[in-house]
Amino acid sequence: MQLIHNFINGEFTAAAGGRIFEKRSPLNNLVIANVAEAGKAEVDAAVSAARAALKGPWGRMTIAERVDMLYAVANEINRRFDDFLAAEVADTGKPMSLARHIDIPRGAANFKIFADVVKNVPTEFFEMATPDGKGALNYAMRAPVGVVGVVCPWNLPLLLMTWKVGPALACGNAVVVKPSEETPQTATLLGEVMNTVGLPKGVYNVVHGFGPNSAGEFLTTHPDVDAITFTGETRTGAAIMKAAATGARPVSLEMGGKNPAIVFADCDFDAAIEGTMRSVFANCGQVCLGTERVYVERPIFDKFVAAMKKGAESLKLGRPEEADTGMGPLISQEHKSKVLSYYKKAAEEGATVVTGGGVPDMPGELKDGAWVQPTIWTGLPESASVVREEIFGPCCHIQPFDTEEQVLAWANDTTYGLAASVWTTNLQRGHRVAAAVEAGLVWVNSWFLRDLRTPFGGAKQSGIGREGGVHSLEFYTELKNVCIKL
Ligand code: NAD
């Protein structure tokens, strides 16, 4: 059985006492690897290695040298594309077509984009007058924040991890990454890439384990971690924020959502269906930006529901490598139980089950996997649990609406505020509704279209702070003003 190691100070290491946990395949629930579980000692070693790296050659590198190194990392990920693809698909069970187009290319791109940002974005400069007439000059410079703890989820493992590690390294920090216990492989593989390109030891470290009373907690409560960046559930983010309060350390939190899609009768119908099918069912509904609440203007409601039903029923569930697989399994048995509990709740609360609502009949060796049916409900009040709570599965509730005012009130009646999509061909309305929706990201006539220079993050309980482009620099650097009296 393969053992997935921690990566500390440039070396792949097991855990003290040989502590391991099992990684099971979402496809069939079979154990596919053992993972070395980091305890306090390993987390300590990783944080010390990161601290030492800041004082070594890494800390003395010029920006140009760092930028070259990050380009080399991106190129090496692309050279080993198939290894990353195999590892990501083994951990998640997601269709290869999806990982090939999104997860791995974005994993590489995240290093290039932030190398470019650091190389090209200037800081500010102000001349000021002084009473003696000689004046003074102010300029700002950026310094790394130091050792950054990076805590990641399982839904887009490489993509979301590099979205943090890319800018952190571009800014000259050293990182200790705690990948999700469900998806340990690509973060470890990235260690091989770092060694190949000659990243100094200790700049990139990986510790495996769980959250509470395990590697996640040991890392986020470690007094020598200077800043913590996290993606995951809102409840976990709140726990991490508490941990970060000791020592008043900065946090960047990307958290949960309950994202609406608002479909007006004047939309391009086919585009709205295509986009909503993706936003509801892509990655088996396990995308933070995904849609779980769909609001459709009444004149096209029946037609829209019928088209979504047809789309959902034509999605082929199957093995990742099969070209016609449209949807894979959920990440784990535990998550399957959670999603199915919501399927049950929806029925109990009186939903009309348009399609799905249960477990698909999978053939032979896939029988024990974390499969659930793509599911659509109608007929629930806005107070129903499946309309209010984040499920993170391949499901949505579709509600008819009559006025823009009514739909905006519903869309905003949530503690979350991550993303929304609006479908209309009326330009005025597109701008108006985008401005009125309380969310960090709004798409008009698209979904998941991402320019990595733009701000990314959630409003309300979906997040604190923004990452992406220059916004990442705000978190990963200390901006210092230097005032020179002439
Ligand atoms: P999770 O919060 O359960 O776990 C995320 C990470 O935190 C894991 O590595 C876990 O081990 C660790 N962790 C758990 N408890 C901890 C603790 N007390 N201290 C330190 N670390 C701890 O989330 P998940 O189930 O892996 O991911 C799904 C969630 O992530 C969903 O809510 C989804 O919306 C959210 N998400 C948000 C974004 C975004 O950009 N806003 C992106 C992807 C996923």
Predicted confidence (pLDDT) per residue in 169-214, tens digit: 999 999 999 999 999 999 999 999 999 999 999 999 999 999 999 9
The answer to whether residues 351 and 435 belong to one domain is yes
Structural domain harbouring 80 = 2-255+462-485
| Confidence (pLDDT) at 332 | 98
| 84 domain-assigned | yes
Say which of 171, 267, 284, 288 is annotated catalytic.
Answer: 288
C-alpha span between 126 and 345 (Å, rounded): 60
Pocket mutation for ligand 1, best pick of 208, 236, 288, 467 (most atoms within 8 Å of C-beta): 236
| CATH code, domain with 241 | 3.40.605.10
Residue 148, beta-bridge partner list: 175, 227
**Which atom number of ligand 1 is nearest to the Cα of residue 153?**
26
The answer to whether residues 245 and 284 belong to one domain is no
Concerning whether 267 is annotated as a catalytic residue, the answer is no
Nearest CA to ligand 1 atom 22: 211
Identify the helix (H) or strand (E) that includes residue 71: helix 63-79
444 confidence band (pLDDT: 50, 70, 90): very high
The answer to whether residues 440 and 481 belong to one domain is no
Do the beta carbons of residue 330 and residue 423 sit within 8 Å? no
Of all residues in the chain, the percent with pLDDT exceeding 70 is 100
Concerning whether 254 is annotated as a catalytic residue, the answer is yes
Nearest CA to ligand 1 atom 23: 232
**Does 240 contact ligand 1 (Cβ within 6 A)?**
yes
C-alpha pair distances (Å), 451 with each of 123, 205, 263, 274, 279? 22, 28, 23, 20, 17
| 204 domain-assigned | yes
| 472 domain-assigned | yes
**Does 255 contact ligand 1 (Cβ within 6 A)?**
yes
412 confidence band (pLDDT: 50, 70, 90): very high
The answer to whether residues 370 and 278 belong to one domain is yes
Residues 233-275 pLDDT 10s: 999 999 999 999 999 999 999 999 999 999 999 999 999 999 9
| CATH code, domain with 402 | 3.40.309.10
The answer to whether residues 355 and 249 belong to one domain is no
**Which atom number of ligand 1 is nearest to the Cα of residue 237?**
2
| Confidence (pLDDT) at 206 | 98
| 457 domain-assigned | no
The answer to whether residues 82 and 29 belong to one domain is yes
| 142 domain-assigned | yes
The answer to whether residues 76 and 183 belong to one domain is yes
C-alpha span between 178 and 232 (Å, rounded): 12
Mean pLDDT across the chain: 98
| Cα(41) to centroid(ligand 1), Å | 23
Number of domains in the chain: 2
The answer to whether residues 161 and 310 belong to one domain is no
Residues 327-356 pLDDT 10s: 999 999 999 999 999 999 999 999 999 999
**Does 390 contact ligand 1 (Cβ within 6 A)?**
yes
Phi-psi label, residue 247: left if phi above 0, alpha if psi -120 to 50, beta otherwise: left
| 219 domain-assigned | yes
| Confidence (pLDDT) at 118 | 97
**Which atom number of ligand 1 is nearest to the Cα of residue 209?**
11
The answer to whether residues 8 and 62 belong to one domain is yes
| Cα(167) to centroid(ligand 1), Å | 20
| 86 domain-assigned | yes
Nearest CA to ligand 1 atom 8: 180
The answer to whether residues 207 and 276 belong to one domain is no
The answer to whether residues 415 and 400 belong to one domain is yes
Amino acid at 216: G
Q: How many CB atoms lie within 10 A of CB 247?
A: 12
The answer to whether residues 87 and 125 belong to one domain is yes
Mapping DSSP to helix (H, G, I), strand (E, B) and coil, where does residue 61 land?
coil
| Confidence (pLDDT) at 472 | 97
For 92-98, what is the mean pLDDT? 98
| 456 domain-assigned | no
For tokens 């979205």, the residue is: 163
C-alpha span between 226 and 147 (Å, rounded): 5
First to last CA, the chain: 68
DSSP state of 227: E
Burial level of 153, CB count in 10 A (0-12/13-18/19+)? buried
C-alpha pair distances (Å), 197 with each of 4, 72, 368? 21, 6, 41
Identify the helix (H) or strand (E) that includes residue 69: helix 63-79
Of all residues in the chain, the percent with pLDDT exceeding 90 is 99
Amino acid at 94: K
